[in-house]
Chain A
Amino acid sequence: MNGGSSRLQTVKRKIRLYLPLIKSLQTFLLLATGLAGYMSARCPIFHFPTLLGLSGSLFLAISGSTVLNMWWDRDIDAKMGRTQKRPLPSGELSAQETLRLGLVLSVIGMAWSALLSPLYAVVIFAGWFFDVVVYTIWLKRRTCWSIVWGGIAGGMPILAGRALGTGSIDLIGILLTLSVLFWIPTHILTFAMRFYSDYQNAGVPTFPSCYGFPVTRATIAASSVLAALTIGTASVLIGVQWGFVRLLAVLSSGLLLLAIGSLLRPNEQVNFSLFKYASLYMLASMILLSIQQ
């Protein structure tokens, strides 16, 4: 009885430690893009096994790459106020255990994706490779332009979902990928400005440190607008109902408004609001793409 209770406690403790490693909000948003990519090709769909396979394999592959990112960046995380309380830099988890977890999640996720479709698996692997090897290990500490590769990695789940639905990589899939790629700077650059000194202390080159805040704000505004344009174009090409296109246009105008606001009256609150709105916008767009008929 005691042994069972103690095992349960251990499992609970592990889950509590592992959860922050997968950045649940970011993983959920990327998972939503993957589902939307799939639904954009096959909606309405109620093929439960495929949806379960897509959700499960994507969740595991994204979580695996995020955990490996945390493992590689543990020295940087320890220097930054925002991240030093994470389980790895705070010493609650060992580097070896984190590496093992990241590899296990990645391998299971990719193996599961290979069972669903070879093309889908290739795209998932490309996303994992761009995120872990190109972005995290190779470029993040060398150039502020690494975010482009981080963005491409972030665009892979939606492309994978679309590829699973259509069986090919088409123009719509590429546009959807671009929309996520353009959305990523809003996320990463906002954090780079908000936690500027943290990144400086850790020696990570960022847009604000290389080009200054005004250029960074302009980049965020431009990429937000480009994200809205590409997702709008993709929606029209998919044949989304006009009502949903109208709604998307209204939501895009809010994004445009905040982007202009961040350029005209730059301050931290507006910048962070643009980031929050852009996340909400991306989620809403994905829901619209998923429920369109």
Chain B
Amino acid sequence: MKLTLLDRLLFLSTALLTSYQIAVGIEGLGSIPIFVYTLGFGALLVSGLLILILGFEVLRSALVVVVATLIPLSLACGMVWEYLPAWRGVYVVYAVVGFLAIGLSRFARMSPQIATLIVAFVHGVAGLTIFLLPIGVVAAQRTAAGFLLVSLGGALIGLMGLLLSFLRMGSPVLGQEKLLRAFPLLFLMITVAYVLGFNWR
């Protein structure tokens, strides 16, 4: 399916928004969380640009699946680094091993079931972290309520991941055309939620 002009504008807006976020950084953070968040927003930016240039077909590429894994893993890792210092070491190990495992699942010969399990587990844990952690820290009044938008972004990216997975498994909730039509807007909404969430806290 070809990208429409509106799709291109939406992906371009996503790219500009992520570029802005990468350039301005996040105030008051040390170099490690900035690096990790840059990885996450950078993966959003590069994925958006690749789709803009290559079209929706790129979503089938193993390389893009691996790059896209960086989005939830890095954002979750950065949030754990900031708010759950006791879990930093464990989470960094989980993120690195998870990323390598997904890379392996895409490029090594592996049964599709195991590959799907790896992807589901790694994305699942990172997605839950992004969704639940802001709710926890806002409830504990450690940060402003605007941070809940990151949870919204996490929920949306999780939803998008699930819909794409169902589609790949052959039992689509939304047909391919409908899903791809919604994809650019969903991608922009996720980015908006993340950018606003990280800046309004």
Contact = CB atoms under 8 A, between A and B. Distances in A.
Interface of A: 241-244, 246-247, 249-251, 253-254, 257-258, 261, 269, 273, 276-277, 280, 284
B23 A257 contact: no
Given A246-B22, A246-B34, A273-B54, 15 more contacts: A243-B22, A243-B23, A247-B19, A247-B23, A249-B38, A250-B38, A253-B46, A254-B45, A254-B46, A254-B50, A257-B67, A269-B54, A273-B50, A280-B49, A280-B53
A280 to B, nearest CB: 7
A244 B24 CA distance: 8
Contacts of B63: 257, 261
B42 interface: yes
A154 to B, nearest CB: 22
A242 B35 CA distance: 12
Contacts of B46: 250-251, 253-254, 257
B53 A277 contact: yes
Contacts of A249: 38, 42
Contacts, number: 47
B23 A246 contact: yes
B103 interface: no
A261 B107 CA distance: 13
Nearest to B66: A257
A247 B67 CA distance: 17
A202 B187 CA distance: 46
Contacts of B45: 250-251, 254
Interface residues of B, number: 17
Contact of B53 (A244, A246, A251, A276): A276
B25 interface: yes
A247 B50 contact: no
A249 B63 CA distance: 19
A243 B34 CA distance: 10
Nearest to B38: A246
A90 B110 CA distance: 56
Contacts of A247: 19, 22-23
Nearest to B22: A247
Interface pairs A-B: 9 shortest CB-CB: A250-B42, A243-B23, A254-B46, A247-B22, A247-B23, A276-B53, A273-B54, A273-B53, A246-B38
Contacts of A243: 22-25
A64 B107 CA distance: 50
A247 B45 CA distance: 10
A249 B41 CA distance: 12
Contacts of A280: 49, 53
Contacts of B24: 243
Contacts of B53: 273, 276-277, 280
Contacts of A250: 22, 38, 41-42, 45-46
Contacts of B38: 246, 249-250
Interface in B65-101: 67
Contacts of B49: 254, 277, 280
Most buried by B among A250, A276, A277, A284: A250
Interface in B30-60: 34, 38, 41-42, 45-46, 49-50, 53-54
